[in-house]
Amino acid sequence: MAIEVQGLQHWFGSGTNRRQVLQGIDCRVAAGEVVLLTGPSGCGKTTFLTLVGALRQVQQGSVHVLGQQLHGAQRGARQQLRRRIGMIFQGHNLLRCLTAEQNVQMGSDLLPGLSYRARRDQAREWLRAVGLGDHLGHLPHDLSGGQKQRVAIARALAAKPQLLLADEPTAALDSQSGREVVDLLKDLARQQGCGVLMVTHDPRILDIADRLLQMEDGHLFAKPL
Amino acid sequence: MSPLQPLLRVLRSLWGGRGIPLAWLLLTRQPVRLAVALAGISFAGILMFMQLGFRDGLFDASVTIHRLFDTDLVLISPRSSSSVSMAGFPRRRLVQAMADPQVAGITPVHWNLLLWRNPKNLSTRSILALGFEPTDPLFTDPSLASKATVLNQRGRVLFDQQSRAEFGPVAEWFKAGRTVESEISGMRVRVAGLVSLGTSFGADGNLLTSSETFLGLMPNTPPGSIEVGLIRLKPGSDPAAVISRLKTSLPDDVTVLTKQGFIDFEQNYWRTSTSIGFIFTLGAGMGFVVGCVIVYQVLYSDVSDHLPEYATLMAMGYPLLTLLGVVAREGLLLAAFGYLPAYAAGQGLYALVRGATQLPVAMDTTRAVTVFTMILLMCMGSASLAMRRLADADPAEIF
């Protein structure tokens, strides 16, 4: 089981401004499963994703990710866990000063015990896999939105994650390149046997999912395909 | 295994092994900002080089004469405080020092500032006069011995041609073959030759004369009193041992110094009893502060601009320590690349200053290392302050 969440509750703010955003969430994602999470904006999807991604301290409830309990986990343990989780953001969040190849290598550099050459070769391999084999030396500045998002996917996968979290990866893309990006994401994740939890608003890509989840006002419901 | 290997391994682990040179790329992909940073650091370095160079140059200039003496040890009166206020002590002490088996020779020297009348416009100005026996060795420069013979005649002086112009066109007149006569403390003297010594803080000009003439110029000097005693040792003797023997055998109306000690004694006076040292050290400090502000500004805005990228790296699982290391390396690179132009410009400006002021200003290793250390401190201090901004990089905020 990649993700196992029970009774997760979360609040923002303090005192009278304290507002509950997650109202007891139960959810399971199996290894290799592709799950899409939809819902209106402000319903707590992103908060849920950051909690599962070990980017935020769990306040109440149990969150098991890749076999590790995150409730009460220390900063160092969360940082270690993040190495095993790939993340793809709404903006591509590439490092502007690095070429496409170097950006992907920032991902493969997280793998222990590999020589510089091996890590670089892996980075090139991943860029070829996302169809950017002839854009190795380009800076993000010189790439289109879809190309940047594909570099971001290569970077996330280069660290050989067991779980992939994606937050609206197609939001900034037109329908054709959005389609290409999610297809690529799904195929590569399948090959790696890596579970995917993707937040999306985009109704055009729902068909890639094994399972759909719907979030509303801090509650999570299963939604028929 | 070569002994260098462990060192290399330590260096490599400090630099984090071979990987993407993130610090280097962060700096060089923004050439304008890098240029501003390097200009700022170099400017601070140049400022420090100049201020410290002037300070050391001025201190060096205070001992122009001291360096010339042909001596191993020096006797002075404990009441002397500097070259401008030398007190007398009994000449007998110097003769007593001859008793030490390792002493090869002595030279008693009279030393005082006297009023010299400018032969052209008849104004007076104080000049440093040294009186010695013309047959005794005085300076390490061997050409003096032949010139000194003219001093055997009473009322003759050797005039330093590097003396300031305010003393009158003595050297020009002498070279033109004119007989140059003037007055010192109301007594008539004739310039019998020229020497080249150099001015210092305390003295704008110098002249040499025989002890006999000197005493004639200063009739109130008690007989048998001198201001400086030069002691030359036999080759291969131990100056420290001789000093300790002389200290126990001589009464405490004299101080025994090495030649370097005599030089230090003079420099120490200018360093501690005047504001010169303070002013120039403060100037160097200003350079340091200016540099700190510039480097801090550059690194802080660099970290701020890249905050989402740093947060992304943290989200990917890079520890905070790695990111701190990136900022520290940026500081190191800035220090190294900012220092080089400062060093080069320092050399150039020193040459310029030497040409314009005759001050003995030159690049020495100590100062080069000092300024580099200051620049390194400046960059690393600023880097560690800029690192605090990294704490704001919250990976949860980038979704």
pLDDT for B1 equals 46
How many helices and strands, by DSSP H and E, does chain A display?
6, 10
Mean pLDDT over residues B87-112, rounded?
93
Which of B18, B313, B399 has the CB atom closest to A167's CB atom?
A: B399
Higher pLDDT, B132 or B20: B132
Return the domain boundaries, chain A.
1-84+164-225, 94-160
Q: Is B29 on the interface with A (CB under 8 A)?
A: yes
Looking at the complex, report in whole angstroms how far the Cα of residue A210 sits from the nearest Cα belonging to chain B.
24
Amino acid at B14: L
Q: How many whole angstroms from its chain centre is CA B75?
A: 24
Contact B308, B10 (CB under 8 A): no
Least confident stretch, A196-205, B109-118, B142-151, B273-282: B273-282
User: How far is B301 from B304, CA to CA, in rounded Å?
Assistant: 5
Mean pLDDT over residues A73-78, rounded?
89
pLDDT in tens, B36-65: 889 989 999 999 999 989 888 888 888 889
Q: Is A97 on the interface with B (CB under 8 A)?
A: yes
Mean pLDDT over residues B252-266, rounded?
93
Confidence of residue B9 (pLDDT cuts 50, 70, 90): low
The interface residues of chain B toward chain A in range 100-119, judged by CB-CB distance below 8 A, are none
What are the b/e assignments for B2-28, b being 16+ CB within 10 Å? eeeeeeeeeeeeeebeeebbbbebbbe
pLDDT in tens, B121-157: 989 999 999 999 999 999 988 888 888 899 999 999 9
Mean pLDDT over residues B323-328, rounded?
90
* Nearest-by-CA chain A residue for B20: A102
pLDDT for B15 equals 53
Q: How many whole angstroms from its chain centre is CA B136?
A: 30
pLDDT in tens, B176-208: 999 999 999 888 999 999 999 888 877 889 999
Q: Does domain A1-84+164-225 match CATH 1.10.10.10? A: no
Q: For A144, phi and psi rounded to 5 degrees?
A: -80, 170
Contact B37, B300 (CB under 8 A): no
DSSP per-residue codes, B295-362: HHHHHHHHHHHTHHHHHHHHHHT--HHHHHHHHHHHHHHHHHHHHHHHHHHHHHHHHHHHHHH-----
User: How far is B181 from B192, CA to CA, in rounded Å?
Assistant: 9
A79 to chain B: which residues are within 8 Å by CB? 314, 317-320
Q: What is the ipTM score, two decimals?
A: 0.90
The interface residues of chain A toward chain B in range 104-163, judged by CB-CB distance below 8 A, are 105-107, 109-110, 116, 119, 139, 155, 159
Q: Is B19 on the interface with A (CB under 8 A)?
A: yes
How many residues are present in chain B? 399
Asked whether the beta carbons of residue A109 and residue B313 sit closer than 8 angstroms, the reply is: no
pLDDT for B212 equals 92
Contact B352, B268 (CB under 8 A): no
| pLDDT tops 60 at residue B353 | yes
| DSSP state, residue B254 | S
pLDDT for B222 equals 85
Which residues touch B104 (CB under 8 Å, ≥6 apart)?
A: B232, B233, B234
Q: Which residue has the tokens 């990987």?
A: B19
Which residues touch B32 (CB under 8 Å, ≥6 apart)?
A: none
pLDDT in tens, A167-206: 888 887 888 888 888 888 888 888 888 899 999 888 888 8
| pLDDT tops 60 at residue A106 | yes
Looking at the complex, report in whole angstroms how far the Cα of residue A83 sits from the nearest Cα belonging to chain B.
4
Asked whether the beta carbons of residue A87 and residue B316 sit closer than 8 angstroms, the reply is: yes
Asked whether the beta carbons of residue B316 and residue A159 sit closer than 8 angstroms, the reply is: yes
* Nearest-by-CA chain B residue for A99: B25
| B255-258 vs B73-76, strand pairing mode | antiparallel
